[in-house]
């Protein structure tokens, strides 16, 4: 009897559950976007900047080599200081919290760093006692919303909403990497001085800072007293800057600009070498510029190649030869040796003495070394990739030897 009741109960349950029901569909849409954040510059300036104990690297941006130290930017948060006396065992020393910081450069024991609209100068002659010595106000003015002293910055944010967003399926309206503010996030992902993806660069007593459209020139002949001289309009899509022998090579997503900086406070344009839209860091030696073009981000064009450009006449750069690559991100030149990071495909090294036969002089193709950018430093080759910040002995360029990797909490992800 008992079991019969159970069956009846089960039957009722089954039918009850079923006949009242229709299929249910719920949709959520999760997207990454740039949320505007408004800040009063007066508040930012009022905050005291004091060195903090070492913090683990979270999502490092630019890396700068200065003497035995590595200075690693944590985009919009500050700068890590690492002792790299022994590249096989770098030691994390301290952290300078600098809001809105994206880039850095060091000149004569003075560290320059941007703090939203201001340029800061720190005395780092005593690494255990870093002092803020100067603040040049209101130079990166593109962050100002209006004249009231309020700035607008953007914070990478993930938002989940109910309901589908089929109408933007193609991904225009809200795709953060397609928006103008993506330049900001792109900035946060530029790595390396000496590396090819730098945005601050020092040459001949002057500091050059490029943002997405403008180059700003600072006189730093008196290192602790940087003076803002002037902005130079470059046009949109500026990505990297590389100094070489009184010239500035500026990589944009449309081509390469060459500026004559023999009058350092007023660089003048020598030439613009234009090509199809692509993302392209630049490195240079006496005769040639090496440019990598790759697909991805804003630069979808299907071109992945290494271009060698003849710059013997900087007023008329000429394409000498192009070599197909897989997905080149950054590149570094050390004498006759060129290193190219191929994203998820690995890392390649070439002897580029004969620029017409680079493809025949590939030394190594380390396919397990996924990498984004690299810096050929005086002691080691620093490679940034999903494993963190790794250093390699490249005294024998045809045979890289791993020395160490600095762990990173949020390493780059290569898709």
Binding site for other proteins (CB under 8 A): 3-4, 6-7, 10-11, 13-15, 17-18, 21-32, 58-59, 156-158, 160, 164-166, 169, 171, 174-177, 186, 189, 295-298, 300, 327, 329, 343-344, 372, 410-415
Rounded distance between C-alpha atoms, residue 185 and residue 176, angstroms = 9
Rounded distance between C-alpha atoms, residue 397 and residue 415, angstroms = 28
Pair 282, 305: CB distance under 8 Å: no
Rounded distance between C-alpha atoms, residue 171 and residue 357, angstroms = 41
Cβ proximity to other proteins, 295 vs 351, nearer residue? 295
Q: Torsion angle of alpha carbons 36, 37, 38, 42, nearest 10°?
A: -150
- Smallest distance, Å, CB 176 to other proteins? 6
- Smallest distance, Å, CB 415 to other proteins? 5
Rounded distance between C-alpha atoms, residue 196 and residue 222, angstroms = 27
- Total residues found in the chain within this entry: 415
Helix (H, G, I), strand (E, B) or coil at 90: coil
Task: Give the pairing type, strands 318-324 and 305-310.
Answer: antiparallel
Cβ proximity to other proteins, 7 vs 38, nearer residue? 7
- Smallest distance, Å, CB 237 to other proteins? 14
Cβ proximity to other proteins, 320 vs 344, nearer residue? 344
Cβ proximity to other proteins, 13 vs 88, nearer residue? 13
Of 366, 367, 395, 365, give the one whose Cα is nearest residue 380: 395
Cβ proximity to other proteins, 69 vs 191, nearer residue? 191
> Could you report how far apart the first and last alpha carbons of the chain are, in Å?
63
Cβ proximity to other proteins, 18 vs 38, nearer residue? 18
- Smallest distance, Å, CB 362 to other proteins? 22
Strand partners, 78: 74, 97
Cβ proximity to other proteins, 321 vs 344, nearer residue? 344
What token pair was written down for 243? 């100094």
What token pair was written down for 290? 């090496």
Neighbour tally for 19: CB within 10 Å: 7
CA distance readout (Å), 119 to 63, 111, 192, 337: 18, 10, 19, 35
Cβ proximity to other proteins, 13 vs 91, nearer residue? 13
């Amino acid at each position: 009897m008992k079991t019969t009741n159970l069956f009846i109960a089960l039957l009722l349950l089954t039918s009850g559950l079923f006949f009242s029901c229709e299929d249910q569909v719920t949709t959520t849409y999760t997207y990454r976007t740039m949320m505007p954040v408004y800040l009063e510059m007066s508040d930012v300036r009022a905050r005291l900047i004091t060195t903090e104990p070492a913090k683990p690297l979270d999502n490092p941006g630019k890396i700068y080599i200065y003497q035995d130290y590595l200075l690693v930017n944590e985009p919009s948060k500050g700068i890590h200081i690492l002792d790299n006396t022994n590249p096989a065992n770098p030691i994390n020393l301290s952290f300078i919290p600098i809001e809105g910081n994206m880039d850095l450069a060091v000149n004569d024991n003075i560290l320059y760093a941007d703090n939203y609209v201001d340029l800061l100068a720190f005395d780092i002659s005593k690494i255990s006692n870093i002092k803020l010595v100067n603040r040049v106000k209101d130079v990166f003015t593109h962050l100002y919303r209006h004249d009231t002293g309020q700035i607008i910055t953007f914070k990478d944010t993930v938002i989940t909403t109910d309901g589908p967003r089929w109408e933007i399926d193609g991904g225009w309206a809200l795709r953060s990497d397609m928006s103008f503010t993506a330049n900001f996030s792109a900035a946060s992902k530029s790595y390396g001085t000496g590396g090819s993806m730098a945005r601050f660069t020092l040459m001949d007593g002057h500091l050059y800072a490029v943002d997405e459209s403008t180059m700003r020139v600072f006189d730093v002949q008196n290192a602790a007293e940087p003076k803002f001289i002037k902005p130079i309009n470059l046009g949109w899509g500026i990505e990297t800057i590389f100094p070489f022998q009184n010239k500035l090579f500026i990589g944009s997503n449309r081509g390469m600009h060459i500026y004559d900086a023999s009058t350092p406070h007023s660089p003048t344009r020598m030439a613009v070498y234009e090509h199809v839209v692509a993302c392209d860091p630049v490195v240079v030696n006496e005769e040639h510029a090496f440019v990598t073009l790759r697909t991805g981000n804003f630069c979808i064009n299907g071109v992945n190649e290494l271009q060698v450009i003849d710059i013997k006449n900087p007023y008329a750069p000429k394409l000498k030869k192009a070599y197909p690559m897989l997905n080149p991100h950054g590149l570094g030149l050390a004498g006759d040796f060129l290193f190219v990071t191929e994203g998820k495909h690995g890392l390649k090294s070439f002897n580029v003495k004969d620029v017409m036969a680079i493809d025949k002089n590939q030394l190594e193709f380390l396919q397990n070394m996924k990498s984004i950018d690299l810096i050929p430093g005086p002691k080691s080759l620093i490679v940034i990739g999903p494993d963190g910040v790794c250093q390699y002995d490249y005294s024998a360029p045809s045979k890289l030897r791993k020395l160490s990797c600095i762990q990173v909490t949020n390493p780059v992800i290569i898709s």
